Chains A and B, each alone.
Chain A
């Protein structure tokens, strides 16, 4: 039986804790209990922080009782992908290589969340060091989707998405190099947001490909995502890609006003999309039109090259990052990951630089497109979560050809550093969630969130509950 308050979103939970109608200890205890009861079915966690979380919750209650409420995240149970370093707590990257590694420092977001008073209850499962799109390539075994435990949760941040969907805390943080936040969010029926490159510092997280890596946020509502963004965004001199920015106030600027917002649909990349996904997407477009958006088709042929450009870039960069481990202990990597690194090791410098020219051409095409539009909108994925038994090819990605394959739509936002949000927009007849992604121009994060909020205010797909208790 799920405690009612675990159904509450972050905003409501925060109010209950701040007014002391509910204690952080009660909420954290319930979240930990739920985590333990569902973990045998989901395998969403690598490390659970029972004692530490209970102690932190008690400290939060004491502080709030003394009139010191730090803000919306104070006393709230949260989870993070096991990609982020946590001082005194093992950090594995889902790899055998770091099975017992205990860092002596915190990642930037961990510091920020601690300062905000959030209570870390667990570190979530993933594809090894973020190399994958299924969350099956983990030393700790695959993550299972709360909507159907025989299906994948998507990756690489699958544990975070599964945890939020299953009501194990209202907020989780992951990372995205290709589509590792938006895809699992779509598969698990929740919101997944990846800000513009440089908005959230990546200090203290393992690198997948440094020019494409982002920190991303999972929640059930766009409003909660904005609160999670406010807590972690901001300049950090420890991340060379961090951008100078004002104190983040995304949540307070959410207004859901999308009147006149120009949305573009890149239809050539929707070929091969499952009919249920296409139908749900078309209905969602109508909803956005009713909210005041102006919707049109837009062709950006350069996007045909996005998936393969992104794939070669991340392949070369991840080989560079893992060069030492690859040579010293390649047998300790998950075999599929080891083979991928081997291919990346063989890419030459001149080939990598040629690929960066291709990337620049795509960037320029998008730069021109965003002069005419505000958001690119599409189904997040062309099909719903595939069975675990389909293996790493189950997602149906095609990164090997210049093509109209949907993979291009999944890959271009991270490759170019654009803000993107996946929101639930439907359900297949067999009750698997469908997602719609909204992709904005550089630093139009607020516009993306406003559009997501507008959509959620007119739909209730984000309130659907997975049948994981039955």
Chain B
């Protein structure tokens, strides 16, 4: 279990949606670039880690109650995508780490089966 603030720090990330609550507790992480898999396999209330930056990531996340989106590989979504996330109260963090490295850095804090 980590707060979003702790995740942000461990990943040396940047919060792209300033002003959002970073003290929310995150107990599950789902890492995928396949929105089909997010819809089919993710536990609701997870943090989504992905390399995709299109608006479908935000809409998918909103629809399945994702708590926050972490974008890996230093990618940054377009402003309209960030705006859509803000409207839906979805925090977005961008990190320069790869998917593997980002997962590895935070995985110790999550029990097996919840990451």
A binds B: no
Query: Which residues of A are interface residues toward B (Cβ below 8 A)?
Result: none
